[in-house]
Amino acid sequence: MSRADQLADIQKRIAMACAKAGRATDAVQLLAVSKTFPLSDVLEFHACGQTTFGENYLQEALDKITQLADHPNAQQNTPAIEWHFIGPIQSNKTKPIAENFPWVHSVDRLKIAQRLSDQRPSNLPALNVLVQINTSGEDSKSGVEPADAVELCKTISALPNLKLRGLMTIPSNTENTDQLKAEFLQCKTIFDELNNQGLKLDTLSMGMSADLELAIECGSTCVRVGSALFGARSYPK
């Protein structure tokens, strides 16, 4: 399948899920998750019209961002590629994240948010952030506990150089649809609660290659799709 066909395939899955849920097709954005794949693959999808790409590993992402800046065709890449950081964040790595990304999906504690705000360069617009919610209840998963999410989000929304746009979650690694649905809905409930309390959140990042339809049914506005676009990843996470 060509890159254009792979992209059209995913867009069709998104459109069908939106139709089934009675939602507008443009209510859900596709974030192409390019971790472990080279910049050349990113550029192929970009040439087909995909502009937003998600990366998990900081050094790998920074390498691609540098390569892109040095790329002979960088000027012709319009609209520009928009990089979203979606991986776990160590506090000693916040500075390059604040300097190089317009979006971060994986903020899960105040210390990280505070550092990102402090380190956001003043010549750049506010950093768009999502708070990651640990809906799976697994200790190993990152994300704030659901019970603590509202307070954390309110505090983060007051930080000067961040713009809190919404929430993100990675559900349990299970094929149990009922469980996945309960986890997605838990995140959607917190999202609605925050908007009811006056925050203006517009982004709910949920759903990956295997479960994007279910996530859209549960209110996702951004699906993060890796392997269904790029193919199987050849080195482990």
Q: Which residues contribute to the site for ligand PLP (CB under 6 A)?
A: 33, 35, 56, 86, 170, 208-210, 224-228
Residue nearest to ligand PLP (CB): 226
- How many Å apart are CA 86 and CA 223, to the nearest integer? 12
Q: How far is CA 79 from CA 28, 83, 93, 148, 225, in A?
A: 19, 12, 28, 38, 20
Is residue 138 classed as helix, strand or coil in its secondary structure?
coil
Nearer Cβ to ligand PLP, position 60 or 161?
A: 60
Is residue 149 classed as helix, strand or coil in its secondary structure?
helix
Return the ∠ at Cα 101 (arms to 235 and 44), rounded to 5°: 55
Q: Which two tokens stand for residue 61?
A: 């992402």
Residues 80-94, buried b or exposed e (16+ Cβ, 10 A)?
ebebbbbbbbeeebb
Burial of 12 (0-12, 13-18, 19+ CB in 10 A): exposed
- How many Å apart are CA 169 and CA 183, to the nearest integer? 9
For the CB of residue 59, give the shortest distance to ligand PLP in the complex, in Å: 15
For the CB of residue 74, give the shortest distance to ligand PLP in the complex, in Å: 26
Nearer Cβ to ligand PLP, position 33 or 133?
A: 33
For the CB of residue 127, give the shortest distance to ligand PLP in the complex, in Å: 18
CB 68 within 8 A of CB 46: no
Nearer Cβ to ligand PLP, position 172 or 209?
A: 209
Nearer Cβ to ligand PLP, position 70 or 139?
A: 139
Nearer Cβ to ligand PLP, position 3 or 193?
A: 3
Rg (alpha carbons) of the chain, rounded to whole number: 17
Nearer Cβ to ligand PLP, position 57 or 150?
A: 57
For the CB of residue 86, give the shortest distance to ligand PLP in the complex, in Å: 4
CB 136 within 8 A of CB 171: yes
For the CB of residue 36, give the shortest distance to ligand PLP in the complex, in Å: 9
For the CB of residue 84, give the shortest distance to ligand PLP in the complex, in Å: 10
